[in-house]
C-alpha cells in the first residue's frame, strides 16, 4: 500500500469576486459533467476566470472553486478544499475529483439521491465510521460546514481503489472510491480524447525540460558480447513490452544507444530516453473516438514530455511484415486503469537521417485490457 498523509489547514475560507457578464447558456465547459454541475448551481452567471467564491445557497462558510483551461473552458467546479500547493503535492486530478464529487453530492435533491449516486459510482462515505444516512451522518452539508481548521487530511492508494480521510475536531470523514479515468477525470471517451488532442497541439510549442537520469554501471547487464548494456525495467502485461533501456560505454560513462549497427535498440531508446530525441519529430494520426483521425505534427521530446509525469512508458521494437522497423510505445497511467498507445513505422535509413519525421498512429485513453487486441 502506498500512503500519503499531509497535515494542513484546508483553504476553505477564501472569498473571490466574480464580475461575470456572460449568461450561463453562453459558457463553455470541458465536459458534460462540469456543465451539469454548473446548471445545478443557483447562479445565473458564471465567473469569467479562475475564481473562489461564496455561494451560501449551496454551502455556508465554504467556498466554491471555478477553474478554466487554456482554451477558456470551465474545466473544474467544486467545493474548495485544497490549495494549489497541496494539489501539486498530492495529486491534482484526485483532489479535483474530491472537490467536484462532494459538490455533486451536495446538489442532490435528498439523502436518497445521495445514496443512489454513491452506489452508482461504487463510492463509500463514512462519518465517524458509520455509512451515509446512518448514525450522525444525516446531512453532508452540516458535516462539511463543521469541517473547520485545523484539518488533518490523508490520501491512501491500494490496488484499484483509494481512500481520502479528513479529521477535524473529534470527527472523521472517510471516502473510499475506485480509480478509473471516467470517475476521476469526469470525462467520457470523446471528451478525454479531445483533451489529449488539445494538449498535444499546445505542447508542440512548449520548451522541453526533459533530461536523462545518470546511469550507474553496476545496474547494467551486458549484451552482444559486452558491446551493449541493458538497464532492465518492468515487463508490461505482454512480452516483450518493457521499460528496458540500452546503453553503450563511453569512457567511464554510459550513453543511450543510437547507432546504425543496432537499429532496434536505437528506435526503442528514442521513446525511453531523451539524449537522442533532439531534432526528431512525429507526424501523428490521432485515432480519436468516432473514427475522427486528425494529424498532429510535434517534436518527439515535446510529445514525450506530455506523458513524463503521470505515466510509465513501455516499448518494443521489431520488424513488421513489410520489413520496416515498428515501435510500439505504451504510456500506462500510474494510478488510473488506462493507457495511450503509439505505433511508429520507421524506415531504417530515415531513422538515422538528419531531422527525421517519424509517422505514427496514436490511440488515446484505451482500457488496459484492450492492449492484446491492438497488438495483433
Average pLDDT, the chain: 89
Task: Tell which residue, 157, 205, 189, 199, has the closest CA to residue 307.
Answer: 199
pLDDT, position 11? 43
* Structure confidence by residue, pLDDT tens digits, 107-149: 999 888 999 999 999 999 999 998 887 755 668 888 898 888 7
Residue identified by cell 496514436 is 362
Q: What is the pLDDT of residue 107?
A: 95
Least confident of 101-110, 133-142, 161-170: 133-142
User: Quick check: 259 and 248 in contact, CB under 8 A?
Assistant: yes
Mean pLDDT of 45-72: 94
Residue 26 has pLDDT above 80, yes or no: no
- The pLDDT of residue 225 is 74
Could you give the CA distance from residue 227 to residue 349 in angstroms, rounded to a whole number? 22
The strand pair at 281-286 and 357-367 is best described as parallel
The whole model's pTM is what? 0.88
pLDDT band (50, 70, 90) for residue 273: very high
What's the pLDDT at 5? Answer: 43
* Helices 32-40, 92-106: inter-axial angle, 10-degree rounding: 40
- Does pLDDT of 311 surpass 70? yes
Average pLDDT over residues 36-43: 94
Q: Which of 246-250, 291-295, 350-354, 368-372 has the lowest mean pLDDT?
A: 368-372
Share of the chain above pLDDT 70, in %: 90
Better-scored residue on pLDDT, 238 or 24: 238
Look at residue 68 and tell me whether its pLDDT is greater than 50. yes
- From the list 338, 317, 313, the residue with the least C-alpha distance to 327 is 317
State residue 139's pLDDT score. Answer: 82
Residue 162 · residue 170 · CB < 8 Å: no
Q: Residue 374: what pLDDT?
A: 60
| Res. 165: pLDDT tops 70 | yes
Q: What is the DSSP string of 94-133?
A: HHHHHHHHHHHHHTSSSHHHHHHHHHHTT-EEEETTEETT
**φ, ψ dihedrals at 164, nearest 5°:** -110, 140
pLDDT on residue 15? 34
The pLDDT > 90 percentage for the chain reads 70
Query: What's the mean pLDDT in 280-308?
Result: 95
What confidence tier does 159 reach under pLDDT thresholds 50, 70, 90? Answer: confident
Average pLDDT rounded to a whole number, residues 307-329? 93
What value does the mean pLDDT take over residues 313-318? Answer: 95
CB atoms within 10 A of CB 220: 18
pLDDT on residue 18:
39
Amino acid at each position: 500500500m502506498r500512503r500519503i498523509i499531509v497535515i494542513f489547514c484546508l483553504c476553505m475560507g477564501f472569498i473571490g469576486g466574480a464580475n461575470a457578464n456572460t449568461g450561463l447558456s453562453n459558457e463553455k465547459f470541458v465536459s458534460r459533467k462540469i456543465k451539469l454541475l454548473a446548471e445545478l448551481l443557483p447562479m445565473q452567471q458564471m465567473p469569467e476566470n479562475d475564481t473562489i467564491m461564496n455561494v451560501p445557497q449551496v454551502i455556508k462558510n465554504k467556498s466554491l472553486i471555478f477553474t478554466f483551461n487554456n482554451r477558456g473552458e470551465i474545466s473544474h467546479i467544486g467545493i474548495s478544499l485544497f490549495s494549489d500547493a497541496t494539489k501539486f503535492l498530492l495529486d491534482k486530478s484526485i483532489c479535483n475529483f474530491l472537490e467536484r464529487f462532494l459538490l455533486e453530492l451536495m446538489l442532490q435533491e435528498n439523502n436518497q439521491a445521495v445514496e443512489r449516486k454513491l452506489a452508482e459510482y461504487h463510492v463509500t462515505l463514512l462519518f465517524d465510521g458509520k455509512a451515509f444516512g446512518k448514525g450522525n451522518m444525516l446531512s453532508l452539508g452540516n458535516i462539511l460546514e463543521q469541517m473547520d481548521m485545523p484539518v488533518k487530511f490523508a490520501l491512501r492508494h491500494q490496488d484499484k481503489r483509494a481512500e481520502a480521510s479528513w479529521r477535524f475536531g473529534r470527527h472523521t470523514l472517510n471516502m473510499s472510491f475506485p480509480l478509473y479515468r471516467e470517475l476521476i477525470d469526469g470525462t467520457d471517451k470523446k471528451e478525454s480524447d479531445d483533451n489529449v488532442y488539445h494538449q498535444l497541439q499546445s505542447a508542440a510549442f512548449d520548451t522541453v525540460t526533459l533530461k536523462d537520469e545518470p546511469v550507474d554501471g553496476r545496474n547494467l547487464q551486458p549484451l552482444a558480447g559486452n558491446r551493449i548494456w541493458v538497464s532492465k525495467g518492468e515487463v508490461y502485461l505482454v512480452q516483450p513490452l518493457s521499460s528496458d533501456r540500452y546503453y553503450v560505454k563511453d569512457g567511464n560513462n554510459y550513453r543511450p544507444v543510437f547507432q546504425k549497427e543496432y537499429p532496434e535498440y536505437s528506435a526503442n531508446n528514442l521513446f525511453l530516453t531523451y539524449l537522442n530525441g533532439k531534432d526528431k519529430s512525429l507526424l501523428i494520426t490521432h485515432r480519436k473516438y468516432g473514427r475522427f483521425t486528425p494529424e498532429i505534427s510535434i517534436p518527439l521530446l515535446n510529445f514525450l514530455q506530455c506523458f513524463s509525469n503521470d505515466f510509465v512508458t513501455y516499448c518494443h521494437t521489431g520488424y513488421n511484415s513489410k520489413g520496416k522497423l515498428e515501435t510500439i510505445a505504451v504510456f500506462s497511467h500510474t494510478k488510473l486503469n488506462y493507457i495511450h498507445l503509439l505505433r511508429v513505422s520507421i524506415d531504417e535509413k530515415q531513422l538515422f537521417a538528419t531531422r527525421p519525421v517519424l509517422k505514427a498512429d496514436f490511440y488515446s485513453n484505451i482500457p488496459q485490457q484492450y492492449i492484446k487486441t491492438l497488438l495483433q
